[in-house]
Amino acid sequence: MSTRIGLPRYSRRFGVIAAIASGVALAALPTGVLANVAPPTLLSAANFAAIAGTGITNSPGTGTYINGAAAVDPANASSVTGFPPGYYASLDAADAVALQAQTDLTAAYTEAANATPFINLTGTDLGGLTLTPGVYRFTSNAQLTGTLTLNGEGQANPTFIFQMEAELTTASGSSVVFENGASGCALYWQITSEATLGSTTSFQGNLMAQAGITMDSGATIGVGGAKDGGRALVSTSGPLTMASDNIVDEPTGGCVYAASTTTSAPTSSTTTPTPGTGAYAVGPGGVPLDLIALTLVCVGVLATSAGFSLRRKRA
């Protein structure tokens, strides 16, 4: 009697099903969604730590500083209040420089709003997340409660863009921190409505809000970011409202981007989402929820098939 060498029949069937399930899961993975993207171009807006449309206000004598230049739309030049001499480096108002800064800011804001591909984080609190370079979108109000960690992964141009179609609010004591080469220079927040930084929030990057920015007591932008710093930029309309002990610390050196060595995003329409379509909701660790669900289904299929095959073998 000959001896058959090889896997039992039920094991072979299990292996075939596992291979098929693995292939389906890999095919569903949205490759290129987190591909590095080019940063929006601020042009002359990069010369300012703070820009506002309808004015910049501050509670006098409260330890609030804009460590850099400020600009206000020429039509609202009189709306700069509560700043004694020395509380900002310089002010451009009611002049061509301020108008050009607003024009360039609006262009950068639009670039950021149209950046793709993106991951849809709608409904996810940014607090407690660690994100890698890419574009992240919220189609409703966004919240930061706690610490958001941005990991540059050692990339040459670790650009982060957050697209928010409503408001951004941070809880008291929240923070944005960097690791592995991420920096405020290449961090952009595009806020369709208002941004409100809760008390003692330590924020980073270029905060571009269309309807206004409010900084509660002790909230800062760019502090601790060294040369990377940050900016408070209100495009088109809206005020920059500062309370007590607020600091906006602009970059102290130019943001220089090395030639990117990362793989560019794929051009296939099946893997490159566009605004409003093809976005991916993500779960823990930034794993797409669709992939998590598919994996659970595959595991269920494997377990059911294995159990069925074992029962047949015993029979």
8 A C-beta contact, residue 136 and residue 118: yes
Tell me the chain's radius of gyration from C-alpha atoms. Answer: 25
pLDDT at residue 31 is higher than 90 = no
Most confidently modeled of 112-116, 237-241, 256-260, 268-272?
112-116
Band the pLDDT of 106: cuts 50, 70, 90: very high
Band the pLDDT of 19: cuts 50, 70, 90: very low
State both tokens at 76.
């609202």
8 A C-beta contact, residue 70 and residue 126: no
Average pLDDT of span 90-107: 91
pLDDT at residue 38 is higher than 70 = yes
If one compares 238 and 191, the residue with the highest pLDDT of the two is 191
pLDDT at residue 1 is higher than 80 = no
Alpha-carbon distance of 119 to 135, in angstroms, equals: 6
Query: Residue 190 is which amino acid?
Result: Q
> What pLDDT score does 119 carry?
97
If one compares 127 and 237, the residue with the highest pLDDT of the two is 127
Most confidently modeled of 78-92, 198-212, 221-235?
198-212
pTM score, whole prediction? 0.73
Band the pLDDT of 7: cuts 50, 70, 90: very low
Most confidently modeled of 24-33, 71-80, 160-169?
160-169
